[in-house]
Amino acid sequence: MSLIRDMEANTPGIEASAVVSIQGLPIASAMPTEVDESVVAAMTAAMLSVGERAAQELARGNLQQITLQGDYGYIIIKGAGMSAIITVLAKSDANLGLIMMVLKKISNRISELLSEE
């Protein structure tokens, strides 16, 4: 999917990304070769599911995104319509505001593309 490759090329700080189904299957990926896309897809779907449940149980409303911060950067997970999720790996010094803005736009576009199929 050239959409995610374009996002990476045009958004400073994004290192890799993937679009996965809510069932945990890979749809499109621009992950490093040493990363197992199937594992990323399964973990992404599981984290989104747990995050949605936590937001609901703790009365935080609808889940917008999940942001994980590690020593070497961020993992950002955002729903992309009813059937897909986008996951982005970002550098530790990335402009998160810019990335969140881009992710909102890209997730809407992915949702549109998948609903056309």
Mean pLDDT for 76-92 is 94
Q: How many structural domains comprise the chain?
A: 1
Rg (CA), the chain: 13
In tens, the pLDDT along 9-63 reads 899 999 999 999 999 999 999 998 999 999 999 999 999 999 999 999 999 999 9
pLDDT at 5: 87
SS3 65: coil
> At 117, is the pLDDT very low, low, confident or very high (cuts 50, 70, 90)?
low
pLDDT at 114: 87
Average pLDDT taken over every residue of the chain: 93
**Residue 113 to residue 33: CA distance in whole angstroms:** 26
Backbone angles phi, psi at 52, to 5 degrees: -65, -40
Domain that holds residue 38: 2-116
User: CATH code at 12?
Assistant: 3.30.450.30
